[in-house]
Amino acid sequence: MKASLLLSAGLTLSFLPNLGAQVTNPAKPAAPAGGAKLQLDAGGTEEEAPLKLDAPADAPAPAAAPGPQPLPDVQIPGLEKLSAAQRTAVMKDLGDVGTYIRGVRWQEALEKLTDIVKITGPSHYVENLRGAVFTRMRDFKSAREHFSKAAELSAGMGAEAFHPRFNLAEISFVEKDWDAARTGFQALLKEKATKDKSSLTLMKFKIMVCDFQQKKTADAEAILKTFDQYDDASPAYYFAQAAQCFVNEKKEEAAEWLDSAKKIYPAELNEVYNDSLVEVGWLETLGQ
């Protein structure tokens, strides 16, 4: 079970080696079987921006084994004071952190982050990643502490401050503190704290879930109507329909909506929304 964390730049470790960006381009999807009614209202006018979630696109196999790959040239605010050699060392260590997180090697990830901060000094990136690791460990008290530090360190840094603030709202969500989660996500939406449409859509979805959980059905359904069935960057429409079905105890119909999303969108995109359904208790595992 995983929270849908914004670890640093997008909805995953997008600045770490071996992770790239990709968006879907699905054909016009059909409604699920069983007479489920499609919501045709298109919604959202936010600026387009792809989720940074997916594996690189398929490519032909090289004729020979590739040599060492260069580390990504990523400009991380707060590292400008470091020498070129220090920046290279930090990026290599961040790559190791990504490997450890993907390998569920939490303690090694935390130890590597300690090594990084010895070079960088206080860093919102490091604190945000620490919080992410503790969240995956389900140590929410420690996670909140580090996300709060990240928010303090990134205050006044524009979009950089968005990620830890999202994560603090997400901690409230996984702890089922629906009022606090809604307040956190709504504040970010109102402030237009990010221009990334995928993140904006995800927050609206989570607010809708909070409303459903608190029996604010009219508010939840108003949000549901804003999701676009033909959004090629987010499966929110399908998951919103499934959420409404779960609320109305129509589990088979919910499964059909989720199956439709599975057929249209990459697993990485669906997993972000699956996480919310698992945290609420509508799904038992991410594989359902």
SS (H, E, C) 49-85: CCCCCCCCCCCCCCCCCCCCCCCCCCCCCCCCCCCHH
3-state secondary structure of 106: helix
The reported pLDDT for the residue numbered 260 is: 97
| Cα 167 to Cα 70, 127, 248, distances in angstroms | 30, 12, 29
* 40-77 per-residue burial string, b: 16 or more CB within 10 A, e: under 16: eeebeebeebbbbbbeeeeeeeeeeeeeeeebeeeebe
The reported pLDDT for the residue numbered 64 is: 44
Residue 286, pLDDT above cutoff 60: no
Residue 105, pLDDT above cutoff 70: yes
Tens of pLDDT, residues 20-40: 222 333 333 333 444 333 232
| Cα 41 to Cα 31, 229, 231, 246, distances in angstroms | 14, 8, 12, 21
| Contact between 129 and 156 (Cβ < 8 Å) | no
Average pLDDT in the 260-283 region? 94
Q: Band of the pLDDT at 159, cuts 50, 70, 90?
A: confident
In angstroms and rounded to an integer, the radius of gyration of the C-alpha atoms of the chain is: 19
| Contact between 224 and 208 (Cβ < 8 Å) | yes
Name residues whose C-beta falls within 8 Å of residue 15's C-beta, 6 or more positions apart in sequence.
Answer: 8, 9, 72, 74, 76, 94
Range list of β-strands (E), 110-173:
none
Average pLDDT in the 255-269 region? 96
Spans of all domains in the chain: 84-280
| Contact between 237 and 265 (Cβ < 8 Å) | no
Average pLDDT in the 144-148 region? 97
Range list of β-strands (E), the chain:
none
The better pLDDT of the pair 119, 34 is held by 119
Residue 17, pLDDT above cutoff 80: no
% of the chain surpassing 90 pLDDT: 66
Q: How far is the C-alpha of 174 from the C-alpha of 280, rounded, in Å? A: 8
Residue 16, pLDDT above cutoff 60: no
Q: What is the mean pLDDT of the chain?
A: 79
Q: Is the pTM of this model over 0.85?
A: no
Amino acid identity of residue 80, one-letter, is E
First to last CA, the chain: 12
Tens of pLDDT, residues 198-245: 999 999 999 999 999 999 999 999 999 999 999 999 999 999 999 999
Which tokens is 20 given?
Answer: 């790239």
The DSSP output letter for 217 is H
Fold designation for 84-280:
1.25.40
The reported pLDDT for the residue numbered 206 is: 98
